[in-house]
Homo-oligomer: A and B are copies of this chain.
Amino acid sequence: MAGDLTDDTWQDLYDSIERVLPVRDTSTQRQELARLAQVYRHLDDGGRAGFLRRAAAHLGVDEDVARRAAEALLEDPSDPAAQVALRRALTPRFSDLLHLLTGLDGGVKLLVDLRADLRHLARGELPLVEAELDGHLATVFDVGLLELERITWGSPARLLEKLILYEAVHEMDGWEDLRDRLDADRRCFAFLHPAMPDEPVVFVEIALVAGPPTSLAELLDREAPTCDAEDADTAVFYSITSCQRGLAGIHLGTELIKTVVRELQRELPHLERFVTLSPIPTLRTAALDLDEATRAELDDRSWLDGDDSGVRDEVLAATARYLSTRVDGRVPDPVANFHLSNGALVDAVHWRANTEDYGLARSWGVMASYRYDPPAIAANAATYAAGGEVAVSEDVRALRGI
């Protein structure tokens, strides 16, 4: 089968690797590596998993060398030379191969995809390779090596089509929809990596509005008139998308939000508020303090067309409590936990904020706003990390107490 890893293919790849590793001439290396990359790209999931396992087995640590180095260390654990030697002995040859890929044309993207494969096709099976690749990619994607780019309708089509492809939070309906999201009263920023120029790493979409937002529909309404960015006092971060599965766990979203807040402060000094309009993906399945009748009514959705006053207040209060109460040290909702860890506070909860089907299914249409208040971010983050009180706005505090 085309995508399968036959023994012959493996042997061919392995021979290639053994040829490539000792070579010093990079032109030769690159030709072999390019061929190897191409073969790997054409393998199916099973074939890739097989390749990763075999490569890890054949290009692993030399156990004899590692054992002797460990024994040497135990003789004098403070001897730096012994420490260095042991570290080196614990570096699998597979890592050397991965490092070589970095310099290949398209190599950084390949490494990112390899990490995704490692995590999805061989989860937990190859910890040493995974640990090494984690460290390597953490360096390659260090925020100091990324470029913040403002995305506009004047950006390359090659890049914009990736935004349409990747947008995960609120799907885009083609080029017209994208253009609306890049209007004069919108902002979109991405981190790009110089060795992966047409692939956004993570991007964030922002609406500039007058007054805080209360629903998603008003932000995504394609018929809404464009507001003048100079009149806006609020920047609403309504979507943040990590584009590369293979970079999961490398926290670039946090950096992007903070960098963009600084950037917007510089461009539009009259902005007063930096808030998100965020989903609460766990709300409906959470153990909220709501009685059964309320739950039933909410699930029933009949309140959508009629009078919702019976449930509205109760649900908002329960949501406010849910988002600001720790369970085992952290607030349970992952989106809330993300923003609170970053130093935001719970600013507001919104009723009928997302009445799309997926919004009702996840959280009965309720959304939350988290607020990034630049002077308070550091202290908030420290308090949240230290297990202190969860930061909330006056409104949320009041709501919670009902």
Contact = CB atoms under 8 A, between A and B. Distances in A.
Interface of A: 23-28, 61, 63-64, 66-67, 70-71, 73-74, 77-78, 80-81, 83-84, 86-88, 90-91, 99, 102-105, 107-108, 126-128, 131, 136, 138-140, 142-145, 147, 152-161, 174-175, 179, 194-195, 198, 254-255, 258, 269, 341-343, 377-378, 381-382, 385
A195 B139 CA distance: 13
Contact of A144 (B103, B152, B179, B381): B103
Nearest to A31: B378
A174 B161 CA distance: 13
Nearest to A137: B139
A77 B86 CA distance: 12
The 7 lowest CB-CB distance pairs between A and B, nearest first, are: A103-B144, A25-B381, A154-B156, A63-B77, A28-B378, A70-B70, A102-B142
A107 B153 contact: no
Given A81-B127, A99-B142, 13 more contacts: A25-B342, A66-B83, A67-B73, A70-B77, A87-B87, A88-B131, A103-B143, A103-B144, A105-B144, A140-B145, A152-B158, A174-B175, A175-B175
Contacts of A73: 66-67, 70
Contacts of A258: 26-27
Contacts of A381: 24-25, 28
A104 B156 contact: no
A184 to B, nearest CB: 13
A377 B31 CA distance: 13
B83 A24 contact: no
A83 B152 CA distance: 47
A128 B80 contact: yes
A188 to B, nearest CB: 12
14 contacts: A23-B382, A26-B258, A66-B83, A70-B77, A80-B126, A81-B127, A86-B86, A90-B90, A99-B138, A102-B144, A103-B142, A154-B156, A157-B179, A161-B175
Contacts of A77: 63-64, 66-67, 70
A28 to B, nearest CB: 4
Contacts of A342: 25
A145 B194 contact: yes
Contacts of A87: 87, 90-91, 128, 131
Contacts of A144: 102-105, 107-108, 195
A271 to B, nearest CB: 14
B80 A63 contact: no
B158 A153 contact: yes
A378 B195 CA distance: 25
User: Which residue, of A88, A104, A154, A254, has the highest number of chain B Cβ atoms within 10 A?
Assistant: A154
A381 B343 CA distance: 53
Contacts of A194: 145, 147, 194
A86 B102 contact: no
Contacts of A99: 138-139, 142
A397 to B, nearest CB: 23
A195 B141 CA distance: 12
Given A143-B26, A145-B194, A160-B157, A78 B63 contact: yes
Contact of A145 (B91, B102, B159): B102
A353 to B, nearest CB: 28
Nearest to A22: B385
B24 A385 contact: yes
Nearest to A136: B139
